[in-house]
Amino acid sequence: MNPALYQLLETHYKTRRLALIIMGAVCAVLMIVVLGWGVASWVDDPPARCGKPRRRFYTSCVDRHYDQVITRTAVLAGIPGILLIVAGALAFPLRDISQAPLIRLFTARKDDVAWVYPKRTSVRRYGVEVNQIHEVVVCTTDGKRVLLTMNEGDVQACVRLMAAEAPRAATGFGDDLETRFCQNPHAVMETAVPAAAVAQANAPSARLVVAPDVPFARIDQGIRYLGFAAEPAPPAPMPIPGEPAHAAWTGKGVRIAYAFDPSVYLRVLEIFGGDPNQLASELAGVVGVPLLGPQQIVGLLAAPDPRTLLLGLAAAEATGTPQSRDALRDQVMRLQSHPDPAVAQAAQRVHRGWA
């Protein structure tokens, strides 16, 4: 899978998993508070309104009081309890991000993707638009739809990357496509030839892996020095101060897209148009932005440190040329049996993507 697409999906699922964990924790705290209140009310003395024990209706008043305590405790603890179960059920499949539904779909079952399109929902109050919800809708051949909520810029990038990963799938929304999908999901794929051609045309001509110790500021300064202008981007949280997850530059009929994975410090430049070899030479020789070639990646794949191995595997996955893959294939196959589960799973994912 394209590393940029993997990072987008990984970010989405990590955010969803974190939200579910927070929701479950809040529900668990509420349950503990409610159960504590119930126990305290149960062991406490009967309310003063029941009077003294010798009063005629004392027993019925006490029974009614404790019945109310049990009912309120059950109801007030049951609601967050149900929400806790729901949050746990939704978070459980995301315990391993590499096995998340769409990551697994675009890794092992690309032919099951029938249709991909962006969706924008306008939120209005009193007839005035107050917000927009941007989503990517992935439709599969079994008639299911999976929605991903992202910002507007990521939606367009995600649709483009998904179209390149699943060339048989139709892209873009249309009433005729909606009708076809409702009648027969496979029929939508008959319209995918033009979309696949567009996706291929929009695919990057090359991917360059920057050395992990080069900060973004140096990359940005070097690319600007070569005559490229940074594209405006909406404000987004940075995984590390001064290190944005995404950036892009345009100029000379070329577009450069940058993606940063803070977990292993993978820095990838996707080149659209132009001469990638010349740009790589200018980056390394003119502005001093070192790039990782096959030999450097082979060295990473031979390192004893699991973190360095994960960086090497991510870099190997990002390089898209058959020549570079042939040079790295043996190393990747060897790491599929690595004792570290994370390294072994990453190697298996890369090997499956190359199959």
Confidence category of residue 33, pLDDT binned at 50, 70, 90: very high
Say if CB 238 and CB 177 are below 8 A apart: no
Q: According to the model, what pLDDT value does residue 198 have?
A: 47
Most confident stretch, 89-98, 138-147, 186-195: 138-147
Query: How far is 253 from 112, CA to CA, in rounded Å?
Result: 35
Is pLDDT at 210 greater than 90 in this prediction?
Answer: yes
137 beta partners = 117, 147
Give the chain's mean pLDDT.
Answer: 84
Say if CB 133 and CB 152 are below 8 A apart: no
Q: According to the model, what pLDDT value does residue 187 have?
A: 82
Say if CB 120 and CB 132 are below 8 A apart: yes
Could you tell me what percent of the chain has a pLDDT over 90? Answer: 23
Q: According to the model, what pLDDT value does residue 243 have?
A: 92
- Higher-confidence residue of 154 and 259: namely 259
Residue type, position 292, single letter: L
**Interval 286-298: pLDDT, tens:** 899 999 988 899 8
117 beta partners = 137
Confidence category of residue 11, pLDDT binned at 50, 70, 90: confident
Confidence category of residue 211, pLDDT binned at 50, 70, 90: very high
Q: According to the model, what pLDDT value does residue 114 have?
A: 87
**Interval 45-84: pLDDT, tens:** 777 777 777 666 778 887 888 888 888 889 888 998 999 9
Is pLDDT at 196 greater than 60 in this prediction?
Answer: no
Closest by CA to 7, choosing from 274, 262, 333, 275, is: 262
Torsion of CA 50, 54, 57, 62, to 10 degrees: 50
Query: How far is 171 from 158, CA to CA, in rounded Å?
Result: 11
CATH class of the domain whose range is 109-202: alpha beta
Q: According to the model, what pLDDT value does residue 42 have?
A: 78
SS3 content of the chain, % helix, strand, coil (to 5): 60, 20, 25
Q: According to the model, what pLDDT value does residue 291 have?
A: 92
**Interval 245-271: pLDDT, tens:** 999 998 877 889 999 999 899 999 988
Mean pLDDT for the stretch of residues 112-130 = 83
Domain ranges, ordered by start, for the chain: 3-99, 109-202, 206-354
Closest by CA to 160, choosing from 132, 195, 125, is: 195
Mean pLDDT for the stretch of residues 298-304 = 90
Q: According to the model, what pLDDT value does residue 124 have?
A: 79
Q: What does the angle CA 181 – CA 185 – CA 186 come to, to the nearest 5 degrees? A: 130
SS3 of 73-126: HHHHHHHHHHHHHHHHHHHHHHCCHHHCHHHHHHHHCHHHEEEEEEEEEEEEEC
Q: According to the model, what pLDDT value does residue 191 have?
A: 65
Q: According to the model, what pLDDT value does residue 199 have?
A: 46
150 beta partners = 134
Q: According to the model, what pLDDT value does residue 344 have?
A: 92
What distance, in Å, lies between the first and last C-alpha atoms of the chain?
Answer: 11
